[in-house]
Chains A and B, each alone.
Chain A
Amino acid sequence: MGEIYPSLTQCALVAGALKILLFPAYKSTDFEVHRNWLAITNSLPLWEWYYEKTSEWTLDYPPFFAYFEWIMSQVAKLVDPAMLRVYNLEYDSWQTVYFQRFTVIITELLLVYALQMFVDSSHGASKRVAQVAAISILLSPGLLIIDHIHFQYNGCMYGILIASLALARKRSTLLWSGLLFAALLCMKHIYLYLAPAYFVFLLRAYCLSPKSTFQIQFLNCLKLGGGIAAIFGTAFGPFALKGQIPQIMSRLFPFSRGLCHAYWAPNIWAIYSFLDRVLIVLAPRIGLSVNSGALQSVTRGLVGDTAFAVLPDITPRTCFALTLIFQIIPLVKLFVQPTWDTFIGAVTLCGYASFLFGWHVHEKAILLVIIPFSLIALKDRRYLGAFRPLAVAGHVSLFPLLFTPAEFPIKTIYTIFWLVLFLITFDRLAPASNHPRFFLFDRFSTLYIAVSIPLILYCSLLHGIVFGKNYEFLPLMFTSSYSAIGVVGSWVGFLVVYFTS
């Protein structure tokens, strides 16, 4: 049926122009983090990478990401060698800014390529739909805000994830899908949250016979196991030789951090904290005891360690258990029905579970849910119904990441632009479902989307006018509670869709 317009390349070019214009925009400490990693990997021998701590932003990503930084530092040397000095903290000459910003744009080409792979793997009528979904990911406000303003390399890594998900679509490339995902894990360990879905899917679809679960395909097991071992060996081997694995692990999994991240990621714990705050007011009336220690800090919710005043405290163990439970439930279905659509649904649900129940979840992690979900959001109108509140909540919850006035118009207008464009387009393209839609969910999502407008207005404008600099946590709390309701609502909605289709 020929090419579909606009093509991914065309969109990438125009988006690229906007991203270059954003070079002078606000950049968070993550910019310095990555500059420091460039410096560490370039100027120190491998053995010292995970021990170096001149800067407080120590290397806490797995080795493949360190190798990735090392490769980039070879080019950085030619641009401005001063950025590669470990003690040169907070260094941001314009060459450094141009170089680092530019690497984000260049490495994001991997995402463009992966999305094209995904589009090419769809056929017939679904190709057009796949193209729209691919463009929606490419132009995602999440990636724009996090990568191109706030500064990170998610575009590149989600590119690898999507390539892996696209490869899982064909039996012949299943092995590569698994290996690519293993490599991704060695780049950024946040993707461990999605690993259970991969494990179950590869086990059922690749390692066991399609006919019976009791026939093991030994050759496939060998290929997959050997491949994964080789990849992990390449990544961690050099460090293992020197016995540095415990040190790396302590860097990768810092359990000393609090339940909620600096801002509140919109998950169950945000709702929990919100309830706790409400209960502080109500507790004396209904005879509950209030933990006075927790009341002391006014900035509660802004600092890392959260103590609850009324509700019981949450331990990492609880979080872990809850995450696992809600991951296993969808995986059962995946094991029974190992189709690609179910697999993507299961990946999405694993993302949901980890985001909603995880310990110290960062709001950026919402992309773990949105991006896989986008691939199947257009399957039919019921999927779309669950996707819509997520799209709104997920992106609105990223707004507190950028708090400088100059970037305010960019983040809001871009997000509204994306929501208007894609929610309308999705609405046109999504076919009707053969199941009845479920009760009132559409009404809920419309109402929910409508509430976002006064909320954004209040948080960005009215609050400042009414309270000035006081009660700064209020807008954050409202944003995250609002977003949490949306994410939880869409999760429940999607669970129903997942299990009934």
Chain B
Amino acid sequence: MAGPSSSSHKPRRKLKQASNESYDNTSSPIDRFTRVPSFPLAAFFWPARGSVSQWELLSLILMAAGLFRWAAGLWGYSGFEKPPMFGDYEAQRHWIEITTRLPISQWYFHDLQWWGLDYPPLTAYHSWLCGKIGSLIDPSWFALYKSRGLHDPTLKIFMRATVVVSEYLIYIPAVVVFVRRFSRLNGVSSWSASVALAAILMQPATILIDHVHFQYNTVMLGFAVASMSSMLAERYLWSAVFFVAALGFKQMALYYAFPVFAYLLGSCVSPRINVARFIGIATITVISFAVLVLPFIIGTLQNVKNGISPRPDSQESHHPLPIFEGLTQYLDTKASYYPIVEQLVQMVHRIFPFARGLFEDKVANFWCALNVIIKIQKYPADLLQRGALLATLASTIPPNLILLIRPRKPLLPLAFAATSWGFFLFSYQVHEKSVLLPLMPMTLLLAGSQGLGKETRAWVGFANILGCWTMFPLLQRVDLRVPYTVLTLLWAYFLGLPPTSLSAYFQEGSSSFSQWTTAFIHGSFYLAMGLWHVLELFLRPPPDKPDLWVVANVGVGAAGFSLCYLWCLGRLVLQSDILPRSWVGKKAKAKTH
């Protein structure tokens, strides 16, 4: 491809690269057996086969991903000009206001009715850092009380920039490293890995929620990916540290806690029992948590010394604990350590709102879908809680048991995905945005073995598009139809998925029975989604059922996500070799013929 160059100063590295890659016989079927790219994203990388330096390619991918993120950010955010409460954007802005303007012991107590802080401490520290930088530019953005509901256009640019910068500092490096390690582990060529990386970074759901609707999910997701990536590199202690960081940023990372625990424990048990490693992981986890809350403890002690109360507006000197009231029987409320206990209990109370219902809004999980058929909300709350707990356990124990017995690196994303699908579908208090959690590990499968092959591409694509679709009601409320449509269709186009193409299902012969089944199932879902969009656009729901479209969305979404859960679990079972040989043989046969 490169012509002989006449200028003498041209670097010669190209030749070396070429010899590295052209004999790479571990490449995926896309570049080995076919002469034509099988989906458009591969076409864009087509000229880069062979002789292109990975760094050039990486920098181009990162720039393109950044451009789409920033351009999407030009659109509105949640709660834009929507008083009285505004939305997630205001929540994040308000947290910056709290953390930069109030003493640390008041953070979890300050005016809880107006977007009180309910995320773990790392989010608070992150807000504080963003606020310190932002206040250099314009302190009025975060003025206490006065700045509520502010929608200054420059502030918007600043807030958007904090999301992008946080993502480029945490999520993106983590994903780049993960993709590199995971693709090598699976013997995937670096070219395919680059294609997969681009696909992962252009994943529409994360862009829509973080950069358009506004949140910092990618920070948490980034720490979780870094944790997985450290597992691949066998750096177990780092893995624990990163996971604590993920949890410390957003409690939602608990969806991943089970597989992290299972894998780390499994790696201490098999192939042989490694007590030192186990103790090391346990210690470092405890230390990380301690470091995480340390600023709160020190800050609270200092505030107490200076006579700053966590509740300056309240006259009473003694407040009961919000939860775990029983503790006060054993503790001395006058003791010097008591403010710390109060702080930590309040933190837990804010982070885990047990008092709320099974689900809040309409979300495409099992309970909400079930609610359409049987009005389950009439049952007592503790029964529902117990039911949710049982169902969650039932759905998440199998994948984690497998991971515990077979702690193998290639299984990680599948186990993470299956578990988080289980949590998403059956657990308590799920938000529609939580679908980002199962989507992340599932999308990472693109970098694995056969990741860009038809089956994985079809299922990963299906999950992502369905995920975006279930978030449409959320996005549509703030007039984000256009970025939703553009980013979702663009991704579908990149990966050759419906509605832009059927290439992920039918291509080049080999139309087996299972392929037809997949095509049929996915096809009917895609049709349902398309039809739903048409109905939603042109028909008003009947007056006695104003939520009809949302309910239909929830039902279809829950059914589709259940299939994704089953697929991940099925793949996990197959790949873990946990079943007897004869059994798998039959199944594998059915899969390939």
Contact = CB atoms under 8 A, between A and B. Distances in A.
Nearest to A129: B3
A21 B489 CA distance: 12
Describe A's contact surface by its main secondary structure.
helix
A414 B67 contact: yes
A23 B479 CA distance: 14
Interface stretch (B68-76, B260-268, B328-336): B68-76
Given A6-B40, A424-B56, A21 B7 contact: no
Q: What class of interface size applies to chain A in its complex with B?
A: 35 or more
Contacts of A420: 56, 59-60, 63
Interface in B478-506: 482-483, 486-487, 489-490, 493-494
Interface of A: 2-3, 5-7, 10-11, 13-14, 17-18, 20-25, 381, 405-406, 409-410, 413-414, 416-417, 420-421, 424-425, 427-433, 437, 442
Interface string B23-37: 000000000000111
B153 A406 contact: yes
Chain B CB within 10 A, most for which of A2, A24, A409, A432: A409
Interface stretch (B43-51, B383-391, B464-472): B43-51
A410 B73 CA distance: 11
Contacts of A10: 40, 43-44
Contacts of A437: 6-7
Contact of A442 (B1, B7, B68, B154): B7
Contacts of B68: 17-18, 21
B157 A405 contact: yes
B261 to A, nearest CB: 40
B3 A430 contact: yes
A22 B6 CA distance: 41
Given A5-B36, A6-B47, A409-B67, 19 more contacts: A5-B44, A6-B46, A14-B40, A14-B494, A21-B483, A21-B486, A21-B487, A23-B482, A406-B153, A406-B157, A413-B70, A417-B64, A420-B63, A427-B5, A427-B10, A428-B2, A429-B3, A430-B3, A432-B6
Contacts of B153: 406
Contact of A413 (B14, B67, B489): B67
Contacts of B299: none
B9 interface: yes
Nearest to B485: A20
A274 to B, nearest CB: 31
19 contacts: A6-B43, A6-B44, A7-B43, A17-B486, A21-B72, A21-B75, A22-B74, A24-B75, A381-B6, A381-B7, A409-B67, A410-B70, A413-B67, A413-B70, A420-B63, A429-B3, A432-B3, A432-B5, A442-B9
Contacts of A431: 3-4
B66 interface: yes
A417 B67 contact: yes
A154 to B, nearest CB: 20
Contacts of B490: 14, 17
Closest 3 CB pairs of A and B: A5-B46, A432-B6, A21-B71
Contacts of A410: 67, 70-71
A23 B63 CA distance: 20
A213 B483 CA distance: 60
A381 B8 CA distance: 12
A378 to B, nearest CB: 10
Contacts of B10: 427
B144 to A, nearest CB: 26
Nearest to B493: A13
Interface string B327-367: 00000000000000000000000000000000000000000
A424 B60 CA distance: 11
A380 to B, nearest CB: 8
Contacts of A413: 63, 66-67, 70
Given A18-B67, A21-B74, A425-B47, A433 B59 contact: no
B453 to A, nearest CB: 19
B37 A18 contact: no
B138 to A, nearest CB: 12
Contacts of A405: 154, 157
B235 to A, nearest CB: 33
Interface in B133-157: 153-154, 156-157
A23 B483 CA distance: 10
A175 to B, nearest CB: 36
A125 to B, nearest CB: 10
Contacts of A429: 1-3
A424 B51 CA distance: 12
Chain A CB within 10 A, most for which of B47, B71, B75, B156: B71
Given A410-B70, A413-B67, A5 B6 contact: no
Contacts of B59: 420
Given A410-B67, A420-B60, A432-B3, A24 B154 contact: no
B245 to A, nearest CB: 27
Contacts of B14: 428
Nearest to A436: B6
Contact of B37 (A5, A425, A442): A5
A406 B70 CA distance: 9
A5 B66 contact: no
A14 B70 contact: no
A25 B482 CA distance: 14
A379 to B, nearest CB: 12
